[in-house]
Amino acid sequence: MVQLKDDCFASGEALLPLSDALNDIHDRVSVVVDTIDCEIDDCLGRVLAEDIVATRNVPPHDNSAVDGYALYHDDLNPDTETRLPFTGRIAAGHPLGRPAIRGEALQIFTGAPMPLGPDGTQASGPDTIFMKEDVEIDGDFVTLPHGQKQGANRRFAGEDIKDGDTILKTGMRLRAQELGLAASVGRATLKVYKPLHVAVFSTGDEVRDPSGDAPEGCIFDSNRFSIKGMLRALGCDVTDLGILPDDFDTIEKALGDAAGNHDLLVTSGGVSVGEEDHVKAAVETQGSLHMWRLAIKPGRPIALGQVKGTAFVGLPGNPVAAMVTFLTIARSMVLWISGADHEQAPRYTVKAGFDHPKKTGRREWVRTRLGVDGNGELTAFRDHAGGAGVLTSMVGADGLVELDEDSEGAREGAAVSFLPFSEVMR
């Protein structure tokens, strides 16, 4: 299925601003996965493929918010204590079984239905509840203090959800609270999008799998594992295609073969301009490559395009650049083609605890941890080296300070925009 139009990312030689790139991606991609009916227990993290409309009120009837005693407010003395006979007991799931009458108090438990009145409706029944700790028990009587408001401690039918309400919308990524909400209106199955099937591989003659050895001049592959982790956090099914050598024919064949049975291809390395960077050329022989020079740091050499109609993302080879560009660019694309009604993750304003000059015209992200300064204000601190290959700086960080294209950098004490990893690594 074609996911990206051939001309959607063409940008010439000029560096493309990030916002333009993301707008183009959003406008041009479409959902590429089918839907399936899924048991609600298996829907956590999945993308909802239908609107959920309530077919009942929640709660379905007026009920008690506390353990206590239900009665008619009109039976209370306005200025003194009231003594009423205790004549019945109502537990959750066990209605009183008869209409309530004036002049009696009924023991009621949290979640139990309010008793019916003489006409057989809750509207004509007891309307007020006292908490049990506020009353005195004397045999078969209860003594109630004065001053209780009418309707106290009573929940009303439909207070949470009304019959006919649209409670969940297509495109939502389902969290525990959405699953509970769907269950509360009687849904045992939900229509969701199937997981995106993604092929991942690294490139480079110097890259070795950590299961083996790394001879002199070689490094262990970290990118593949970080990328797989970020994809799986988004609910993707991931195929690990391992490490490909710096050989055009091998890369071309691997890309072509994987395109036939995957929804997305993700690589790291090989998308720059070096003589041994073959990924760009291998993509272009079987599809098209766009937008591979973005005005960002880290991660300018990022490639997006398609191979035989299958979406392709080529991330940088440096570990930090690979992660940052995935989180700030590729993640959006993954969610959109997965069916998610995705908006950019929120940024939060914090105080900078460091200086960082930058040139205008490009967007930069600085790895930082959050802490509190001497004035008790939430502050972003930079403790690590800033190179795109320093992966420990990602481990020690809580997120990224984002400096937009017009910014001349961060100044200690000034307000900056902070993107928490907790918002994008899930």
% of the chain exceeding 90 in pLDDT? 81
pLDDT band at 7 (very low <50, low <70, confident <90, very high): very low
Is the pLDDT confidence value at 314 over 50?
yes
If asked whether residues 233 and 173 sit together in one domain, one would say no
pLDDT band at 274 (very low <50, low <70, confident <90, very high): low
- Which of 276, 310, 337 is the last residue in one of the domains? 337
22 within a domain of the structure (yes/no): yes
pLDDT at 334: 96
Please write the tens of the pLDDT for every residue from 358-400. 999 999 999 999 999 999 999 999 977 677 788 999 999 999 9
If asked whether residues 24 and 103 sit together in one domain, one would say no
If asked whether residues 218 and 331 sit together in one domain, one would say yes
CA torsion through residues 91, 92, 94, 98, sign:
positive
Mean pLDDT of the chain: 92
Please write the tens of the pLDDT for every residue from 112-153. 999 999 999 999 999 999 999 999 999 999 999 999 999 999
If asked whether residues 271 and 353 sit together in one domain, one would say no
pLDDT at 13: 58
How many angstroms separate the CA atoms of 40 and 23, rounded? 33
If asked whether residues 77 and 28 sit together in one domain, one would say no
If asked whether residues 47 and 174 sit together in one domain, one would say yes
If asked whether residues 255 and 369 sit together in one domain, one would say no
What CATH number does the domain containing 293 carry?
Answer: 3.40.980.10
- Which of 305, 337, 369 is the last residue in one of the domains? 337
**pTM value > 0.85:** yes
If asked whether residues 266 and 330 sit together in one domain, one would say yes
What CATH number does the domain containing 389 carry?
Answer: 2.40.340.10
pLDDT band at 71 (very low <50, low <70, confident <90, very high): very high
10 within a domain of the structure (yes/no): no
Cα 152 to its chain centre, rounded Å, is 37
Please report which helix (H) or strand (E) contains residue 141, including its range.
strand 141-144
In this structure, the dihedral spanned by the alpha carbons of residues 359, 362, 368 and 373, taken in order and rounded to 10 degrees, is 50
419 within a domain of the structure (yes/no): yes
Query: Between the CA of residue 89 and those of 96, 105, 243, 300, what are the distances in Å?
Result: 7, 9, 70, 71
| Domain with 97 in it | 63-155
pLDDT at 380: 98
- Which of 280, 304, 337 is the last residue in one of the domains? 337
pLDDT at 25: 87
Domain count, the chain: 4
pLDDT at 383: 78
If asked whether residues 206 and 216 sit together in one domain, one would say yes
Query: Between the CA of residue 146 and those of 4, 69, 82, 135, 265, what are the distances in Å?
Result: 70, 14, 7, 10, 71
pLDDT at 6: 45
7 within a domain of the structure (yes/no): no
If asked whether residues 225 and 317 sit together in one domain, one would say yes
Three-state DSSP class for residue 129: strand
Span between the terminal Cα atoms of the chain, in Å: 27
Report yes or no: 130 and 153 within 8 Å, Cβ to Cβ: yes
Please write the tens of the pLDDT for every residue from 223-236. 999 999 999 999 99
pLDDT at 2: 41
160 within a domain of the structure (yes/no): no
CA angle 158, 159, 161 (to 5 degrees): 55
Cα 159 to its chain centre, rounded Å, is 27
187 within a domain of the structure (yes/no): yes
Report yes or no: 272 and 230 within 8 Å, Cβ to Cβ: no
Is the pLDDT confidence value at 69 over 90?
yes
126 within a domain of the structure (yes/no): yes
